[in-house]
Amino acid sequence: MTDNLETTLPVLNRLGLHARAAAKIAALAQRFQATIILERNGLQADARSILDILGLGCPQGSEIRLRAEGPEAGPAMAAMAELFAQAFGEYA
């Protein structure tokens, strides 16, 4: 099944999308077949690439547009939403 999904998620952790958070996104994206694209301020990042994600330079409070395409887009998107909602497991 091929899907094409979009959503917007806020970056909640204090440090923004820094190395640890970006690593979690990349590692999660690599588990799914879907292509996941992160978008902010007109910049796009491949969710599988930690450097792409860091390159977006997202501080706390920024909002990220997520797009998932291809097989497993649904579950990939749900997993991403959960990871964002948990503030990447960081509370400080």
What is the set of active-site residues? 18
Q: Count residues contacting another protein (CB under 8 A)?
A: 34
How near is the Cβ of 88 to another protein at its closest, in Å? 11
Tell me: does residue 28 bind another protein (CB under 8 A): no
Report the distance separating Cα 75 and Cα 90, nearest Å.
Answer: 23
Tell me: does residue 27 bind another protein (CB under 8 A): yes
Nearer to another protein, 4 or 43 (CB): 43
Q: 3-state DSSP call for residue 28?
A: helix
The two counts, helices (H) then strands (E), for the chain are 3, 4
Q: Which stretch binds another protein (CB under 8 A): 32-40, 46-54, 66-74?
A: 46-54
Give ∠ CA 85-11-28 in degrees, rounded to 5: 60
